[in-house]
Amino acid sequence: MEIKDFSYYFDLSDFAHKDLFEGCKYIFDFIKILPDYIKKNLKPQILGKVMPGAYVGDNVYLGEGSVVQPGTWIMGPAIIGKNCEIRHGCFVGANTLAGDNVILGHASEIGNAVFLNGSRAPHFAFVGHSILGKNVNLGAGTKLSNLKVTGKEIEVAGIKTGLTKIGAIIGDNSSLGCNTVTQPATFIGKNVYSYPLSLLSGFIQSNTIVKVRPNQETAPFDPNR
């Protein structure tokens, strides 16, 4: 299980905030560093378009060409790059860091998360305490679970993380099918594809297709019974 080498998951060469990861011993350490990083680097300014009916908090940077659609709430603190779409009904919570050309989708909840350039959570997603790599796509209804049902500390590869919330680390160019759910602390490499309705956990190596096939049964039905 790769938990130290960011290059296994991400090409950070064109990401404006790659400095975020310099202080991380383990990849999941970004969760501890992210709030202070945003606080240090945030210069609140709205350079994009906020449509009527949207609410944007005071501690938000919105880059040029980005559009916030009606019914959206960006609570902040948040840094959102250029040419992003924040679609109707999206709740963008604290400590959200998005690069350029990112989609934060309709009826989605985002918080304590990093979106590399071109990543997309277009519809009905939950993304918390997670990183989406470059050009990652989450199918409609994808949920990146970040909290154990017990609420206890999460261990990764036998390491005590000191964290009760870790979502998913998803490598560049990966795509998860509709209604995929990842269990807390799921690590997914580059170029990974999952079937719809997948339940993912643990470590999934790069260049993999995850085929989860729920059984489908049919039986005769008499409408006159």
Of 15, 31, 70, nearest to 154 by C-alpha is 31
Spatial strand order in the sheet of 73-74: 55-56, 73-74, 91-92, 109-111, 126-128, 143-144, 181-182, 199-200
pLDDT of residue 212: 87
- Show the DSSP H helices in the chain as ranges: 30-41
Task: Report pTM.
Answer: 0.95
pLDDT digits (tens, 9 = 90+) for 107-118: 999 999 999 999
pLDDT per position as a tens digit, 114-166? 999 999 999 999 999 999 999 999 999 999 999 999 999 999 999 999 999 99
CATH superfamily label, 6-210: Hexapeptide repeat proteins (2.160.10.10)
**Percent above pLDDT 70 for the chain:** 100
> Structural domain boundaries of the chain?
6-210
Contact by Cβ (8 Å): 101, 119: no
Q: Quick one: pLDDT band at residue 23, thresholds 50, 70, 90?
A: confident
* Residue type at 116 in one-letter notation: L
Residues 6 or more apart whose Cβ sits within 8 Å of residue 169: 9, 27, 28, 130, 131, 186, 187, 188
Confidence of residue 214 (pLDDT cuts 50, 70, 90): confident
